[in-house]
Every structure is written in structure tokens, then in C-alpha cells.
A and B are shown apart, each in its own frame.
Chain A
Amino acid sequence: MSHHIIEAEDLHYKYPDGTSAIQGVSFRITHGESVAIVGENGAGKSTLLLHLNGYLLPTEGALRIGDYSLTKETLNEVHRTVGMVFQDPDDQLFMPTVFEDVAFGPMNLGFPADEIKKRVYDALETVGMLHLKDRPPFKLSAGEKRAVAIATVLSMSPNILVMDEPSSHLDPKTRRKLIALLGTFKHTKIIATHDLDMAVDLCERTLIIHKGKIAADGPTRELMQDEELLEQCSLEKPLKLQCCSLCGKVSV
């Protein structure tokens, strides 16, 4: 099942204004893995993710996604393989109704009309938002927008899900619901976040990015216990792994 694999080799990216956002990143993510990419603001998480679906092409180094190396020619296949959920759902939802928005991807892929409808209904059903299908997206609540944004990607049935800070701007309960939802997905998942508690919940493996380089790559729980490492990368130990300040117990 090589089509669920992502492999980066010495990736570099320099923005046109000269900012070196990624400076030599290598990793290999295999089928069914769930990986958190953590790092402080400006570490380069979003920039890295934008490579994974080919929006940015590396200035140096190579990226293999599924069966393809990432080049201009393979973009279509890459878009089909990798579903990308953006940080701000307002950027992702641009069609007049939720239905049309979720249908946008499948329509671009050229599916016949009844197949498109089925995909849209399935995707909205999965995220529990089918009842909103005729509403204009910009009038939804933050949690609903996020769920619909996820549906827009699910409708293309990608093998790999890439999400940029999916839990930001959500209230605690909506955040929990989202985490539960993501936990049900069997896709290969790559989640950029600084919500380390979510990383602990959802991802066995974590890549810590610091100033455009990989500072650590390993099992999430181990990395999250390494206070020195976290300190170095301007991160804080997840709450659930900290000693409870009230009763002195660790929750997990």
C-alpha cells in the first residue's frame, strides 16, 4: 500500500521574500500512521503542510507522496491522495451553500452527478452536519465550519488527511467532539498543532519542528515527557501529563 506513504528528503523552502521557513527536513510517514507536527508559532508547520499537497514546491530536496514524487505534473494525483484542511475554515469555504462547497472537490475530479451527491451526503453524515447542507457556510458557528471544512476534504476520499491546527478557536466541548471525530478516521493523519493534549490523544508519533528544522521525531508520550526538549522548543508539557496542581495526580 505504497499510496499512503509520505516521504520527505532534505526539504528546504525559502519564501520569495527570503524567509527560510524550512531548512532541511526529512521524515517518512507510513500507511495508517497518525503523526502530530508540533512547534511554536512561526516554527514552519503551515509551510511544511503546504508542501504535502503540492501548494508549495520545495526549493530544494524531494517529496514523495504515495506513488508519486511531487512535481508540477503529478499535482492532480497528489490533490486526490492528500486531503488538506486549512487552519482558517473561512479560507476553505467559498461556495454559496454547504452542499456545493462539499461537492466542489468531487466535481473537479469529474465524477458523475449521482456519485457526487452520494459522496457529499456521506461526508456530511460522517461529520454530523447533513442538516446544514443548504445553509451558506459563512453563517455557521466556528465548530460547524470546521466540521464542514473536514467534510469538503472527506468527499474526495483522500488516503491521507492533513490538518493545520484543527482545534484552534474551538470551545472545549466542540474541541472534544472534534478529537473524537478525528479518532474515528482510519486515514493516515498528519496534524499540525500546538494543542499538545490533542497530540497525545490522537497521535502515536510526533515531529517537533523548531525554526524550520526537525528537533525531535518519536513516540508522542516519550517526547512530551522530555521537559528539557520541550523547553528548548518553546513548548509546554501537555496538561494531562502534568502533575495535577490540585490533587497531585497525573490524569493518564
Chain B
Amino acid sequence: MADIGAHFIEIGLMDRLATKDTAIHRLDPRAKLLTTLVFVATVVSFGKYEVSALLSFFVYPIALIARGDIPARYILKKIILVAPFAILVGVFNPFLDREPLLTIGDWSIAGGWISLLSILVRFILTVGAALILLACTGINGVCLALEKLGVPRVFTAQLLFMYRYLFVIMEEGMRMVRAKRCRSFSKQDTGMKAFGHMLGHLLLRSLDRAQRIHSAMSCRGFDGHIPSMKQLRLTSGDVAFVAGWSGLFIIMRLYNISQLLGSFITEVIS
């Protein structure tokens, strides 16, 4: 269970990454949010057997990781942490969809396997993009951008609190697990009943804690809106960022760049 602690600390790292000062961090949160949305929309819009065309989309996360000075390993670890959900979505495809789609020599690959692969690639791309957005904008920036783009405050505040209270719940959970371990000695199996009690208790404690945090916030004038010192101003750089990347995404959606590149290279070689 020690790794829960490690992940908790790492969520804190996300906040710290967001305080860096790179060209990417300095972009207006709205520009980054819009670009991420266009990215996700184009990636999701591909047909279910598409894999090769998706590969060229990796250029966006890679560019941001490099320019935004974000540790790629950290983002990868976070993706792997949630990957089971994507696998769950696609895991039955190979059994349901047995139509051979691709033959390499004597091997034929069923469509189900291709679509599973496609789901995984899309998952990595979209979750990766979202995490990168968070790492170079910060949750407060993302919420502010959403609000400025017309999302009602109720939703942005919800999002913000979900994120903040994630810490709280994990922290409370960690404390309880530790306390339980100290008293259960080497006996591993303390039964489902104890687990159920702990879960209920965790919920109550988290609620309590959330309430205290809220009271502390409202005592300092919080009215559902996280204020920001940064004056949001769209510069020509922001516009170029959105337009440039969105343009590229659309081109990559219409033309299969990886394939074109591949055939170009084979032509040159032969």
C-alpha cells in the first residue's frame, strides 16, 4: 500500500510542474485548452480500425513534453495507472470481431485485435494530452479557461473541488490503512467486513474534512470562483499556437501522414 502514498505525492508534482515558466506554460490557458479539445476531437473521430494514421498525432504530446519541460516518465506512469479502463473497453473486441482484416504471410489478424490496438493508441493520446494540459496549465488555469469560454461556474467549481478533494480522500485513506496495518500485525486477511467499515468511515472522514476546507475557503472570501492574479490576454502567439496545431491536426486527419511518409521513403530507397 506504500505506493498509494507515492502516487499521492506525485499528484502534488502535477501542481508543481504547473508553476514552471516555459514558453508553453506562458501560453494563455484558453489557447492550450482549445488546442487540446481539437486534438481530442480529431483523434476520437477516426474509424475504429485506424492505427497508422493515429501515430502521427504523437507529434503533439512529444512537442509539448519537450518544450514544456515535463518529465515524460511521469506522464507515462499516470497513463499506465488508468490504462486498465481502456483495456476493459476493448478487451472483448478480438472475440467478437474475428473477421480477418490483415494478412501477413500465413498470419491473418482479426479486426478485433486491430480495433483493440486502435482503442489503446487513442486512449494514450487523449489521456496523455489531458495530463499534459494539466501539467503545463494547472487545475486552476484549466478551470479559469473553461469559465472564460462560457462553461457555467457550477461546473468549473465542481471540477476544481473534485481535483482538490482527491488529495483529501487519498490522504485520509492512507492514514486509515496505516492505522489498520499497525494493529493487524502480520495477519493479512482481516476480512471484507473490516474493509467495508473502513470504506464507510473513509467517506465520512473525507466529507468532514471537505467541509472544514470549504469553511476555511469561505472565511477568506471564497464565493465559488477561484481568483487568478494572471490577467488573461490572448496574444498573437496564443492564436498562432491554436491555429497552427489545429491546422496540423486537421491535415493529419484528412491525410495519412505516416503512410505517405512511409511510401515516400520506400520510393526514395528503391
Contact = CB atoms under 8 A, between A and B. Distances in A.
B219 A108 contact: no
A190 interface: no
A109 interface: yes
Given A109-B221, A134-B19, A136-B15, A86 B229 contact: no
B219 A113 contact: no
Contact of B229 (A79, A105, A107, A139): A107
A84 to B, nearest CB: 5
B219 A55 contact: yes
A104 B15 contact: no
B105 interface: no
A82 B219 CA distance: 9
Interface stretch (A5-13, A91-99, A192-200, A225-233): A91-99
Interface stretch (B125-133, B187-195, B208-216, B235-243): B208-216
23 contacts: A55-B215, A76-B221, A79-B219, A80-B221, A88-B212, A91-B213, A92-B216, A96-B15, A103-B229, A104-B222, A104-B227, A105-B221, A108-B222, A108-B223, A108-B227, A109-B221, A113-B229, A116-B229, A136-B12, A136-B16, A138-B167, A153-B220, A156-B220
B216 A108 contact: no
A136 B8 CA distance: 13
B220 A113 contact: no
A156 B164 CA distance: 23
Contacts of B206: none
B172 to A, nearest CB: 11
A103 B209 CA distance: 22
Contacts of A132: none
Q: Counting chain A CB atoms within 10 Å of each CB, which of B12, B167, B209, B227 scores highest? A: B227
A50 interface: yes
Interface string B137-171: 01010000000000000000000000010010000
Interface in A45-71: 50, 53-55
Given A92-B213, A96-B140, 11 more contacts: A80-B221, A92-B216, A96-B138, A100-B140, A104-B220, A104-B222, A107-B228, A107-B229, A108-B227, A113-B231, A136-B16
A108 B221 contact: yes
A152 interface: yes
Interface of A: 50, 53-55, 76, 79-80, 82, 84, 86, 88, 91-92, 94-97, 100, 103-105, 107-109, 113, 116-117, 134, 136, 138-139, 152-153, 156
Contacts of B18: 96
A94 B167 CA distance: 10
B212 to A, nearest CB: 4
A92 B209 CA distance: 11
A104 B15 CA distance: 16
A121 B92 CA distance: 58
Contacts of A105: 220-221
A234 to B, nearest CB: 25
B12 A91 contact: no
B19 A86 contact: no
A103 to B, nearest CB: 6
Contacts of B223: 108
B227 A86 contact: no
Interface in B1-48: 12, 15-16, 18-19
B259 interface: no
Q: Which one of B167, B216, B221, B228 has the highest number of Cβ atoms from chain A below 10 Å of its Cβ? A: B216
Contacts of A138: 12, 167
Give 7 nearest A-B pairs by CB, closest first. Answer: A108-B221, A107-B227, A96-B15, A105-B220, A91-B212, A92-B216, A55-B215
A56 to B, nearest CB: 9
Contacts of A86: 212, 215-216
Contacts of A113: 229, 231
Contacts of B216: 84, 86, 91-92, 94
A214 to B, nearest CB: 24
A152 B19 contact: no
Contacts of A84: 216, 219
B102 interface: no
A95 B226 CA distance: 10
B217 interface: yes
Contacts of A152: 220
Contacts of A134: 19
Contacts of B52: none
A55 B215 CA distance: 6
B164 A55 contact: no
